[in-house]
Amino acid sequence: MMYISWTLMRHGLDELLLAAHLFRPLRFLRWFMWWRVLRNRQLSHGVRIRRALEDLGPIFVKLGQILSTRRDLLPDEIAIELAKLQDRVPPFPGEQARAIIEKAYGCPIDQVFMEFNLVPLASASIAQVHTARLLDGTEVVVKVLRPDIEPVIRRDIGLMYILADKLQQYWNEGRRLRPREVVREFEKNLIDELDLMREAASATQIRRNFSQSKLLYVPEIHWPHCRRNVMVMERIHGIPISHIETIRAAGIEMKALAERGVEIFFTQVFRHNFFHADMHPGNIFVGRDGQYMAVDFGIVGTLSPEDQRYLAENFLAFFKRDYRRVAELHVESGWVPASTRVDEFEAAIRTVCEPIFEKPLAEISFGQLLLRLFQTARRFNMAVQPQLVLLQKTLLNIEGLGRQLYPELDLWQTAKPFLERWMSEQLGARAFLNRIKDNVPKWGEKLPQIPNLIHDVLEQAKSGKLQLQGDQEAFRLLRREIRRANQRTFFAILGSALIISAAILLGLDGYASRMIWDAPVLSWAMGITGALMLISNWPKDDRD
């Protein structure tokens, strides 16, 4: 914590600390902070936060990368600056990687690999990658978790929770930004990345999904050599997606490449319901034939069928500028409370979207529109949807890549036919026929039994043996409660009658005394008896 505090002060973030309500009485101390003289006062808060995270190390850098995608929580200036963070992590020694691999396999490395390059091909905050050859000569890459990385991650996450608590407690904006929620989301994704068997399974699933498609190529996983901290996969040779000039020089059509990227995203989200959620430029390559290649499947996302349909309908409603339907879908899906007034929500969405739609479609950012929608919905207490956060992050990445490849990319025109086709497959006549086709085997299995079942039911009905099975204890309790209710009603009527009669006797003003012996005593006795009958038969729950 001392190192973190010193790093924050060194980058001028002590100003944010002293701005907190708790420390306002100590603001005079800033005049004794000699290092303030050495600061570049031209630097914005976003730049200083980015530089502080870079100095704090790889885990904090990765937190900053994830925070950069949460523009619904951060000011734009800070989010844009955090998006510049890169994993500039020094590699650990190759000999150490070799020792980790040998321990995982329980044998010398030369019994598994013909060649193993001790110099890493790439290094990141969680793992690093080495090139190698299997005993049969196959080129592979070997991904190795950093040694003792899990205790370091859990320690740093614990510190992040402490910082999040303090931020929420002492900063006015802290509660709105929900820092603990952000750290919890970060923790989940990071812990998942520590299991390379999980990543291997995700890569295999996406490879299988695109096995009959030329859109995307996913390297093959060599399962016999995979462990929790070691993963071996086919080595690919492609052009990094960020090398635009090299891609152009290869004769690849940029417009078609950008549109295929959009199609890959929507295919994964809506057709496969299993999408690569970390599609930044470092994980995407292009083959010489223009086919996309993807690596690093540590973070993947899925949607429920309901979320899929609501998202598709939301997108289509946006295409038609039907804001009423967008508002209704948010309420129907449970993303905003059921008590939300649809007309107010519709007006808020229209206020946000109409200025955007005044631009040509090719200039409208689909990801930014979705982002603005989430920001508006948050004003109406929209619950955080982790699956939608991953989707938003991936969509922003995909759109950024597409616009980088082909600045005139019209994401709307590219996406609309796909979504309309998917909706017709899900809700139209074709979907109905497909569901029938899927259920035919089940119906064929049950159909021969149906005549016998109908015959048995009719026979039992004819002989009077047909009985409805139920919870006998529940029926017994219900009957007993009905009897008690009837008794209470009877005595309540009788008690009320006695009280009313007593009141009448007392009100006869002496006439009753001449007709009835000791009428006051009798009336009081009747009243007390009636009251006791009412109290004794009052339902217990109400009496308590």
The residues carrying an active-site annotation are: 278
Q: Is residue 519 within 8 Å of residue 507, measured between CB atoms?
A: no
d(CA 355, CA 364): 10
Closest by alpha carbon to 406, among 275, 266, 248, 249? 248
Q: What is the dihedral of CA 258, 262, 265, 270, to 10 degrees?
A: -160
Q: Residue 162, CB half-sphere, CA atoms under 13 Å: how many?
A: 9
Residue type, 356: I
- Cβ neighbours for 350, distance < 8 A, ≥ 6 positions apart: 323
d(CA 191, CA 200): 15
Q: Is residue 283 within 8 Å of residue 294, measured between CB atoms?
A: yes
- Bridge partners for 300 per DSSP: 276
Q: Is residue 265 within 8 Å of residue 276, measured between CB atoms?
A: no
Q: Which two tokens stand for residue 520?
A: 């006051």
d(CA 398, CA 262): 7
Phi, psi at 294, each rounded to 5°: -125, 145
Task: Name all contacts of 116-121 with Cβ < 8 Å and 24+ positions apart.
Answer: 116/142, 118/94, 119/94, 120/91, 120/94
Closest by alpha carbon to 183, among 94, 290, 73? 73
Place of tokens 């040694």: 147
Closest by alpha carbon to 20, among 172, 144, 235? 172
Q: How far is CA 460 from CA 215, 453, 469, in A?
A: 61, 11, 14
- Cβ neighbours for 221, distance < 8 A, ≥ 6 positions apart: 200, 203, 204, 207, 231, 232, 233, 234
Closest by alpha carbon to 314, among 341, 337, 333, 300? 333
Residue type, 283: N
Residue 201 three-state SS: helix
- Cβ neighbours for 420, distance < 8 A, ≥ 6 positions apart: 316
Q: Render 52-107 in DSSP notation, one character per residue.
A: HHHHH-HHHHHHHHHHTT-TTTS-HHHHHHHTT-----PPPPHHHHHHHHHHHHTS
